[in-house]
Amino acid sequence: MIAGNRHYNTLQHLPGIISNLQIRSSGDRIQALYLERPVEQLDIPPDSREKLRKMLVFEPEPAVRRAIFIATPHRGSGLANSPIGALGRRLIQLPMDIFNAGLSLTQLERLPELTPIGQRAAQVGPNSINSLRPDSEFLTTVLELPVAPRVSYHTIAGQVNQGKPVAEGTDKVVPYWSSHLDGAASEKIVDASHLTITRSISAIEEVRRLLYLHLGLPAPEPLPPVTAGPQVRRSVHGHPAR
């Protein structure tokens, strides 16, 4: 999180899906995705009920006024269904207590109130790869949640083949159709892959522009071109690289 004018910008690369939740109101949509009854009606310990409620029912973070999403897979990525994604699912596991509100896996699976989607989620277990499937009901539902009116949001997407139409573009991991957000105040397409976009001068300049905009300052001067060679190699902050 980056402070600005007593409020905050949220600047996110891959974890931008989490920031997307911070600017939206869930209503009962996420809860209804996994449960057939409201959390308050579940026959589980009160502390588990409260933890589950906080995970499934939420309001926008009041301090956030602007969000910048960089190559964020809002609609998932085909990589999640690839052999690499399958390997990731075996290697990446979140602590179960983050996912199940303190209930054991057996208790969670036996909840009669779970919807079919909730049952599948309980059986598969939590990991960041599963949540990035292009057919993820969770991602689809998140994008349907209303954004807080006070929040401006922006997207920066990479495209490795600049000769292609933007709509067909990809950064080799996240296609444009996934990183695009309807209603964004601005959208910047840069010549970069998913692995290089955070080092892209064009992406860095766009982030600087948006931060200056948030502070009510004139747009900054463009960054100087990067010149190769050990004598002139510098960081983006202008200090000698080490």
Spatial contact of 44 and 166, defined as CB atoms under 8 Å apart: no
- pLDDT tops 70 at residue 109: no
Which whole number is the average pLDDT over 214-220?
88
pLDDT, tens only, 29-76? 999 998 999 989 988 888 888 888 888 899 999 999 999 999 999 998
Domain-located, residue 44 = no
The answer, as to whether pTM is greater than 0.85, is: no
- pLDDT the model gives residue 2: 39
Residue 238 has pLDDT above 50, yes or no: no
Mean pLDDT score across all residues of the chain: 78
Position 179 in a domain: yes
SS3 70: strand
d(CA 86, CA 32): 28
- Examine residue 143 and state whether it is found in any structural domain, yes or no: yes
Give a yes or no: residue 145 inside a domain.
yes
The arithmetic mean of pLDDT across residues 131-157, rounded, is 91
pLDDT category of residue 236 using cuts at 50, 70 and 90: very low
Burial of 127 (0-12, 13-18, 19+ CB in 10 A): middle
Report how many domains make up the chain: 1
d(CA 215, CA 2): 12
Residues 148, 153, 159, 162, Cα dihedral to 10°: 120
pLDDT number for residue 125: 60
CATH number at residue 146: 3.40.50.1820
- State residue 88's pLDDT score: 37
Check residues 112 and 240 and name the one with the higher pLDDT. Answer: 112
Tokens of residue 10, six digits: 């949220």
Task: Give the pLDDT confidence score for residue 113 in this predicted structure.
Answer: 87
Is the separation of the CB atoms in 161 and 176 below 8 Å? no
Domain that holds residue 159: 2-25+60-92+127-214
Residues in the chain: 242
121 confidence band (pLDDT: 50, 70, 90): confident
Residue 175 in domain: yes
Encoding tokens for residue 97? 């207590």
Residue 192 belongs to some domain of the structure: yes
Compute the average pLDDT of residues 162-174: 92
Place 219 in a pLDDT band, splitting at 50, 70 and 90. confident
Comparison of pLDDT for 192 and 232, the residue scoring more: 192
Model pLDDT, residue 130: 60
Element (H, E) at 153: strand 152-158
pLDDT band at 169 (very low <50, low <70, confident <90, very high): very high
pLDDT band of residue 119 (cuts 50, 70, 90) is: confident
Quick check: is 38 in a domain?
no
The token duo for 88 is 């990731």
11 is a domain residue: yes
pLDDT of residue 69: 95
Residue 47's Cα: distance from chain center in Å? 28
* Residue closest to 82 by CA, chosen among 133, 125, 123: 133
pLDDT above 90 coverage of the chain, percent: 45
User: What are the pLDDT digits (tens) for 127-141?
Assistant: 555 667 788 888 899
